[in-house]
Every structure is written in structure tokens, then in C-alpha cells.
Chain A
Amino acid sequence: MLQVNNIEVAYMSVIRVLHGVSLTVDDGKIVALIGANGGGKTTTLKSISGLLKTEEGEITSGNIIFNNHRIDKYHPESIAGLGISQVMEGRRVLEHLSVEENLNIGAYRRNDRAGIKSDLDMVFNYFPKLKDFRRRTSGYLSGGEQQMLVIGRAMMARPKLMLLDEPSLGLAPLFVHEIFKIIKKINAEQKVAILLVEQNVRAAFGIADYGYVMENGRIVLDGPADKLRDNEDVKEFYLGLSTVGSQKSFRDIKHYRRRKRWLS
């Protein structure tokens, strides 16, 4: 469904951020993309959704294919039209608009009134809180409610692929569990593929089918999520299951290459 092929990305033509990133998302799957801060995860999502172009970023080589369309040169609105919805980092609700208006904006490109109405009910079904607050100004919702709202807004477009950027950011542990359960449910019931960027590696690998680990603009490790979960390095660096110092990186480990070969 989605193939990112060896893309390199630079901001303002000089700040090179991605150095040949490739990844694949298959129909109906959840793929997790994890890695340290500043590794280029958000940049990867923005490259796919086209929003990179709104920030003076550019894909300087490689390509992105989505359902037989080569989309790396498309404008964000055309990419959204093909069925890719990005939920941006940091709960970007339209603050002065009501909850319902925020959801309606998600369905902006659609004209099937009946479908929009039933999808609104579907979103309210996944997030009953939003229904109670439908007339409320969204800027006054709590962080968790805003996260539900932006996910709901993305669903209103009836996407084939959702790009979720750190949905757990700043949420209480119990609520993280809750939201990941709902994400899994949406994926299963609505048949929407999900590319999930997360710091909460445990939660992400808990629902993902496949995972990629990113560092300094490169994919350094990938594999089925259950295998990655058991991987010693992932355990050590991202699941905090080791007592070794925290300053190390994959790049410092000699046996990393061998591991990668073993995994692929």
C-alpha cells in the first residue's frame, strides 16, 4: 500500500535530516516507527503526507509510492485526497472551533452527507466523551480529550492510511493504554492501515504488526513487532530493561550489524 523508497530529506536545502529511509506499510497493518528524539520520525511522516513542503523541507532523492501513485511531489491536499490522514504531533485542535466543527473539518473533502453523519456517530462511538462535549470549544478540552478529537478528525476523512505522531505524548499511563486499545480497534474494524510514531515503545509494539527503529535519519533495525520486542538492543535502549548506561547508541554496538542480518 505505502512504500517509502530510500528518501533523503533536507530542510531549507542545507539541513539534511533523512539519509535514505525506506519503509513499507501493507494494507490494514499497524506499523510502528520508533527512535530517539530528533531522529527524523516526524520528518518521515511529513514527507509522506506532503506537509514537509509547508516547512521548506524537500525530498531530495528517493520516492514514495501510495497505491500506485508516486506521491512525493504531490501537494498535501492531493495526498489527503488519496486517503492519507496525518495526526500531527502535539494535539493540533482548532482551538476556537467546537468539537463537532473540528470533526466536520476532517470530512471537508467529502460530499456524502449521510456517510459523514454516520461517520460522526462512528467517531462518537469510539470516543463517547466527544459526544458529550460536541458543542464545547475544543481549546478547553483536556489533553486526552484533545488527542481523541484529533484522531477522530483524521477518521472523518475515511482514510486508507493514518499517520499517527506520538498519540501518547503527555498522557497519563492508564489513558495511554486506553487510547492504544482504541487505535487497535479502529484499525481492525475500519480496515485502516496505521503508521504509528511513538516514544512509548512498549505500547507501540503491543499493537503493531511490524516495527522500524530509526536513529539519526536512518532505519537501523526493523522486523516483526514481537521479534523486536524481544530484541536485546531494543530492550536495552527503548524498553529500559537493562542496567547499562543510557548514553550509548546502536551505532556503538559492534554486534549490531550481525543482529540486523539475523532479523531480516
Chain B
Amino acid sequence: MTFFLQLVITGFGLGMVYALIAIGFVIILKCSKAFNIAQGQFVMIGGYLGFTFLVTFNLPVWASILAAIAVAVVMGGLIERLTLRPLVGQSVLAIIMMTIALGTILEGVATLVWGGEYKAYHGALPTITLKVGEFSIPPETLIGIIVSILVVVALMALFRYAKIGLAMRATAEDEQVVQSVGIKVTSIYTISWMIACVVGVVSGIILGGVSGVMVSMSEVGMKALAVVLLGGIDSIGGAILAGIIIGVLENVAAGYLDPLLPSGGGLANVFPFIIIIIVLIFKPHGLFGLKRIERI
């Protein structure tokens, strides 16, 4: 029972990270109608930023996260302004190609700045623990869960109650209408990229605390695609639910089945992709997408 609980809780932590990354995808999908292939690289940059602020600058956790968010805002804004803005009105394919290029460039930048080596900083985190039954949640998982819940709640509030959140949802529906009421869609794009970058970077910090950072960490972006699909592509709430489902299932499945495999492990790495295949075959619109409104 303790083992199961442990798997569920660490799986939940992982799932919240998936959810954050998936939200990044969904936000860009809603405004640019394209998958941002570089979302995983935002995560990787976040991991290295976490290392820089926590270890190199020796800042406390909250300050490191705020500093990383500030960097992410600037980075997201610059990326949109310099690389995506010129493509407004171009095909979705052009945008996807641009994000592929961006992703590769970000990996190059990370290698230049941080040397591309493995870095870990869970030692720099405060050692708070919480006991659930026999099992005590490790501090990096606990901090990860707290931070990701805070960010998700903040985002939900932003979309539901803030003026800019309303404008973002409206822009996703009809850009012409939004312009006709005087909203500048280009600023909505900029803000969308900033938010996508922020959620990527924050998930990177959390993930880096749990499993360390290296350039190949960006592959987690592709894993989060499974979450996006299962969540129904265009729904933030769906992405959160799907993130938790996949995180928990993946962790539990790996925990029980890995020891039985001849290789002794590796299930966690393929699990999300198995989900992608199943979802695409049986439920191509995902589980929780926005309902298509069709009236007769």
C-alpha cells in the first residue's frame, strides 16, 4: 500500500509537470494554430535556469523561480517578436518549421552557456518533508507539487477572470471580431508566447529538481504531446486532467511492471507514446476537448 501511494504521489507530481508543459502547447495552439515543437526546449532552459539561480547565485527557491519567470517573459516576448511575428498570416507548416529551428537553436544556446552537461540541484532545495502514512514525500516532489498547483491555479484565474484572459479566449475564437472591438491581436500573441515560455521554464525547474538537467531533457516536450492529445488539444482544463492521468498511470505502471520486464525498466519512457497511439486510434478528438458547437 505504501509503495502504491508513493507511486501515485510522485506520479501526481510528474503529472502536474506534464500538465504545465501541455498548457504551454495548448496556449500556442489556440493563438497560432500550430504545435510549438520548441516547448520541450523551454523546459530544458528552465532546468538550467533553476541550476543557475539556485546553485550558482545561491538564491532561495521562491526568488529563483521568480527570476526564472522574469527571464522566461523576456525570452517568450523576444521569440514571438523576432521569429513568429514575421510569419503572421503564413501557413501553419511555416510556423511549425520555425519552432523546430527555434528548438534546435535553444539547445545550441544551452550547450554554449551551460556546457550541456548534467547538472543537479536537488541538494539546493530546502529539506521540507511531508509524511503520508509510512511514506514521506521527498522535498523536490513536494515543492514541485506546490509550485505547479500555484501556477495552474494562477493560470485558471487569469483565463477565467482577468481581462487579458478573456481577450485571449476571444482571440482563439475569432481574430477579426477581436480586432473589430479594438484589441490588438499581436499583443495577444506576444502574451501567449510569454505564458507558454513561463510554464515551460517553471516545469523545467521542477523537473530539474527531481531528475537533474541536461540538454536531452527537452524530449519531455514530446511526452507532453500525449497529454495534449488526450486532453482534447484545445482545452486547458483537459490538459490538466490528462496530465495528472498520464503522470499517475505512467508512474504506477512503471513501478509495478518495470521489474517484470527483461530489460528491468524503460516503460516510463514509452508509456506516453503508447497513450498517443491509443488515443489517435480510438478517440482522435481526445477526451476533454471544447465541444464543437453545431446548431441546426
Contacts and interface: CB of A to CB of B under 8 A. Distances in A.
B179 A51 contact: yes
The B interface, classified by DSSP as helix, strand, loop or mixed, is helix
Contact of B163 (A86, A95, A108, A153): A108
B177 A97 contact: no
A106 interface: yes
A164 interface: no
A139 B180 contact: no
Contact of B167 (A95, A108, A137, A157): A108
B184 interface: yes
Contacts of B173: 94-97
A97 B174 CA distance: 11
A54 B175 CA distance: 9
A187 to B, nearest CB: 20
Contacts of A101: 166, 169-170
A139 B294 CA distance: 8
Contacts of A86: 180
A77 B166 contact: no
Interface in B136-172: 163, 166-167, 169-170
A108 B181 CA distance: 7
B183 interface: yes
B183 A92 contact: no
Interface residues of A, number: 29
B211 interface: no
Given A54-B179, A76-B180, A85-B180, A105 B295 contact: no
B184 A140 contact: no
B166 A105 contact: yes
A104 interface: yes
B255 to A, nearest CB: 39
Interface string B24-55: 00000000000000000000000000000000
Contacts of B174: 92, 94
B178 interface: yes
Contacts of A108: 163, 166-167, 181-183
**Listed residue (B169, B170, B178, B180) with the most chain A CB atoms within 10 angstroms of its CB:** B180
Given A75-B179, A157-B182, 16 more contacts: A51-B179, A77-B179, A77-B183, A77-B184, A80-B179, A80-B182, A81-B182, A88-B176, A92-B176, A92-B177, A96-B293, A104-B166, A105-B166, A105-B183, A108-B181, A109-B182
11 contacts: A54-B175, A75-B179, A77-B179, A77-B182, A77-B183, A94-B170, A94-B173, A101-B169, A105-B170, A105-B183, A108-B182
